[in-house]
Chain A
């Protein structure tokens, strides 16, 4: 079997087997699997609103998955996309609320996006500096920074910036709102899908180019594959750790912009809902390849929103099981695929 077809076959095979297993689980839970899957399909692709919801979730997932995928090229596990997303969201909301109302839309949005990216990048860089300078394992570093990010945003929200008797901050200025597709063209009416989706696809393309077609990516992948050889070749591994984490964090910040500037228009407690962790799964399923991430994010977007819509018929827990099972199956299958290729 050649490499291309295994690359395609393995994710498909794992999704398929996950589907079979979840059918069984739904069946065992005493529900009709076909009915559930049909309901899910109608609620997602079957309606404009549902499609918009899926698109919105997909967009955030693309950004957080990219935040995981880039550091993965230098063999770093960024478990901190959630924290980077939280701080990015907080920064975007605060900037958006403080901007003067007369500032033109383009400038307002740009400023908010930049502050979200800077917050995400800064938070990721902190873990990278700990790693390069003091040898702190990036998994531990990013997990701890997730807790700290949660604490910081929670504290500032509750004690300083929440509007009294609510759990959210003051809304951002109208000019800082990223327009929804619904208001611009009438597509996906009333859904949270906004122009960020286009940005997400653009950034994924940019990351692909950066990783596979640029000199920077050439060096970066070499560091990931054979760190010793990279040293002999005069490549500075520390620099690549820093940039990969920094750029990854910035991508997570963009995910925050999608949520805050595109949909919620303020910072709210628990608004990220652990999507940063789902991003790890999205990136894994895609083999950390930016273009495959687009597809994999779509798949998880459908699962996430689809799970919500069939809540009345089947507990959301079932969909958590499907998601987690898919990840496990992917890891198992790709290990199997590697073994097949070696033999």
Chain B
């Protein structure tokens, strides 16, 4: 069979960060090729390279056997590549026809637009692929599913042979999804090549022919869908063989610190994100939450840190040593003895333009210990910064001058960890993705520190997309699926299965899909 796209040793770096590493991939003509992976695995970067929005740092790309190097989407479109973005690129005030021909009017700048001829072409395409639409309707008046059809017609109008869909079903209702899949199949049957980006494994199994799994910027496997199972795909997506394993001495948990009771979360629009979620965390234990992203992890953290979006409906209770966390502000929650290391630390946990010292203080700047007059006690601050740098093996020579953005990902995370773990009188740590984007060297230090914190009696709620990390660190494991804990592994089970690696991962895999 003919090859539509061939990528060979493609890499993309943003500064020091490798978004795509050594990617080689074959996509056959006339197939639906799914690309799956967690957020941040590099799917978007890869498709942006194919669509000409990013230039690869190294490597080669071939379309229909010809070597190409796009410097803009315009060139990619010219080579027959089309993309439907997650957020549609449509102008609501224009009609369907006007939107479709936009940028491709087939006439001079000051000539009359051939609306009638275009309309006929569009209707022709619509009929051929079963995409019923009124070409004169205003796009703003269409449903989301219909708008998606406009996007597809746009690609057909441009005679795109390769179509990229970025999370196309994220906004569709189940019925619209069914219909969309039918369209995808008919596109494939007429020889179009389709790249489907998603993290919904059910959809991959339902519609794709081949599937590639991405993790940490690399493709970890490409298999025919006929041979794939959901559990196996999930394990490939979230599992990872850590190079080193931290020693995790047996835990002896104490009193209950956090008790969550039948917690529910409904968005403003009424979508249920958490449903009857219950769990207990005791002092001196790490409660790991395993689950595929998007099953309620973010919402759980938002509630516990007092940042649930306005209009969200929260039910149930979340008690820290008996007093409720719901309805309090982040500052109040921190005062109650809670530390939080958010998943997106560059956006939420640090001020990248501030110096390392200032960042070691961030969020703790209300502590009296650091105060002097209207400002800060520089002497105490320097001593504290020095201690943290030594204690966490931070590579940073002048914390008062170096800005945080100059540090590597691992060192940035160490700054956050140092700050949050050394908060006085912390009883609960909310820890999300502790080693995301962190180099291997720093992972070991970070894992050691987490185990140390547990041993000193802290209760830790750990969320991670790395299954291996959850298994290595947790005392107990809860499997999160569609907003509730579907299965819980007890302390004894985790102890017993921790070293069986693969088998345990598979078992967890079953409970999170």
Closest A residue to B347 using CB positions: A228
CB contacts (< 8 Å) of B362 on chain A: these are 222, 229, 233
Measured between alpha carbons, how far is A18 from B329 in the docked complex, in Å?
Answer: 50
Min Cβ gap A26→B in Å is: 41
Contacts of B350 in A (CB 8 A): 226, 229
Within 8 A of A (CB), among B353-385: 353-354, 358, 361-363, 365-366, 371, 374-376
**Total residue contacts A-B, CB cutoff 8 A:** 61
Given B331, B342, B351, which contacts A234 in the complex, CB threshold below 8 Å?
B331
Q: Whole-angstrom distance from the CB of B111 to the nearest CB of chain A?
A: 37
Asked if A232 and B353 make an inter-chain contact with CB atoms under 8 angstroms apart, the answer reads: no
CB-CB under 8 A from B365, the residues of chain A are 215, 218-219, 233
Q: Which of A218, A228, A234 contacts B334 (CB 8 A)?
A: A234
Is B145 interfacial (CB-CB < 8 Å)? no
Decide yes or no: A226 and B334 within 8 Å by CB, A214-B375, A218-B365, A232-B363 being known contacts: no
Our pick among A209, A213, A215, A229 for the contact of B351 (Cβ within 8 Å) is: A229
Interface size on B, residues (CB 8 A): 27
Provide the main secondary structure of the chain B interface: loop
Say yes or no for B116: interface residue by CB 8 A criterion.
no
In the bound complex, do residue A226 and residue B331 qualify as a contact, i.e. CB atoms below 8 Å apart?
Answer: no
The reply on B349 being an interface residue by CB < 8 A is yes
Residues of B435-455 contacting chain A, CB below 8 A: none
The residue in A213, A219, A229 that gathers the most chain B C-beta atoms within 10 A of its C-beta is: A229
Is B112 close to A, CB under 8 A? no
Minimum CB–CB distance for A213 against chain B, Å: 5
| Cross-chain pairs A/B with CB under 8 angstroms, 16 sampled | A213-B375, A218-B376, A221-B354, A222-B351, A225-B353, A225-B354, A226-B347, A229-B350, A231-B307, A231-B330, A232-B307, A232-B340, A232-B363, A234-B334, A234-B366, A235-B331
7 cross-chain pairs, A with B, having the tightest CB-CB distances, nearest first? A234-B331, A233-B363, A234-B330, A232-B348, A214-B374, A213-B375, A222-B351
Decide: B348 and A228 in contact? CB cutoff 8 A: yes
- Asked if B347 and A218 make an inter-chain contact with CB atoms under 8 angstroms apart, the answer reads no
Q: Judge whether B342 and A215 touch: CB under 8 Å.
A: no
Q: How far is the CA of A233 from the CA of B352 in the complex (A)?
A: 14
CA distance A216 to B374 in the complex (A): 8
At the interface, yes or no: B305 with Cβ under 8 Å from chain A? yes
Binary B-proximity of A68-82 (CB < 8 A = 1, otherwise 0)? 000000000000000
A235 to B334, CA, bound (A): 12
- Counting chain A CB atoms within 10 Å of each CB, the highest count among B334, B358, B375 belongs to B375
Which of A214, A222, A231, A233 has the most chain B CB atoms inside 10 A of its CB? A233
Q: Is the CB of B329 within 8 A of A232?
A: no
Which B residues are CB-close (under 8 A) to A225? 351-354
Beyond A232-B305, A232-B363: 12 further Cβ-contacts under 8 Å? A213-B374, A215-B374, A221-B351, A222-B351, A222-B354, A226-B347, A226-B350, A226-B352, A229-B347, A229-B350, A232-B340, A234-B331
- Rounded to whole angstroms, the CA-CA distance of A152 and B340 in the bound complex is 50
Rounded to whole angstroms, the CA-CA distance of A222 and B358 in the bound complex is: 10
Nearest Cβ distance between residue A235 and chain B, in whole angstroms?
A: 8
A234–B349 Cα gap in the complex (Å)? 11
What residues on B are CB-neighbors of A236 within 8 Å? Answer: 329
Per-residue CB contact flags for chain A residues 203-231 toward chain B (1 = under 8 Å, else 0) read 00000010001111011011001101111
Contact of A232 (CB < 8 Å), options: B330, B332, B358: B330
A235 to B365, CA, bound (A): 10
> Would you give the shortest CB distance from B311 to chain A, in whole angstroms?
15
Question: Given A215-B365, A222-B354 in contact, is the A229-B376 Cβ separation under 8 Å?
Answer: no
- Chain A hits for B305, CB < 8 A: 232
In the complex, chain A residues whose CB is within 8 Å of the CB of B361: 218
